[in-house]
Amino acid sequence: MKCPSCDYEEDKVVDSRSTKDGTVTRRRRECLECGHRYTTYEYIEPGQMVVVKKDGRRQEFDRRRILEGIFKACEKRAIPRARIEEVTDAIVSELQTEFRSEITSAEIGERVMKHLRELDEVAYVRFASVYRHFEDVSEFMLELRTLVKDAKTARQST
C-alpha cells in the first residue's frame, strides 16, 4: 500500500475493525517512512454483477459509483464520511443478497433514494432531483410535499 503522503510502499497496521455485517474491514495504517496515518477499507468483490442501464447497455457493477452519488447528494451537509460509507455498504450488501448476476440501474437508484431518505432529507431531495429528472418545478414541489407529509406522519406516530 502506497502512503498517500510520501508514496513509500511499506506500512504497518495500527488498528483493524470489521463492520457489523462483516463485509468490510477498516484498517488504520502508519507509513514506516514518514509516520503519516491513513485509513484503508477492504471489501468483498461482488461476483461479476452486471448493471443493466436504461438504454439496455450493460456494465460491471461498481460500488464507487454509488458512493460518489451519495457524496454528491450529501455535499455541504453535516454527515460524516464514515456514515456515508456505512450507508453505501448497506446498499451494496442488500443488492448482493437480492441480485446475483444482473440488476437494473433503476433498482440501484431506488435503493439509494430509500437509504438517503432515512439519512438526510436534503440529500434525498438532491439525489431524487437528478435521478428522477424532474421536468419542472411542479414535479419537484410534489416530491417535497410528499416528503413533508411523510415526515409529519412519522412524527405523529412517535
Q: Are 36 and 6 in contact (CB under 8 A)?
A: yes
| Pair 152, 90 in one domain | yes
Q: Are 74 and 88 in contact (CB under 8 A)?
A: no
* Amino acid identity for residue 8 in this structure: Y
Q: How many domains does the chain have?
A: 2
| Pair 137, 69 in one domain | yes
| Pair 132, 152 in one domain | yes
| Pair 40, 74 in one domain | no
What does the alpha-carbon distance between residue 42 and residue 73 come to, in Å, rounded to a whole number? 24
| Pair 82, 150 in one domain | yes
The pLDDT, as a whole number, for residue 36 is 96
Is the pLDDT confidence value at 13 over 80?
A: yes
Task: Give the mean model confidence (pLDDT) for residues 4-26.
Answer: 88
Note down the domain range covering 149.
46-157
pLDDT over 90 percentage in the chain: 54
Which residue spans within 44-147 are E strands per DSSP? 50-52, 58-60, 102-104
Least confident stretch, 26-35, 57-66, 83-92, 133-142: 133-142
| Pair 134, 80 in one domain | yes
What does the alpha-carbon distance between residue 47 and residue 112 come to, in Å, rounded to a whole number? 20
pLDDT tens-digit map of 33-75 = 999 999 998 877 656 789 999 899 999 999 999 999 999 999 9
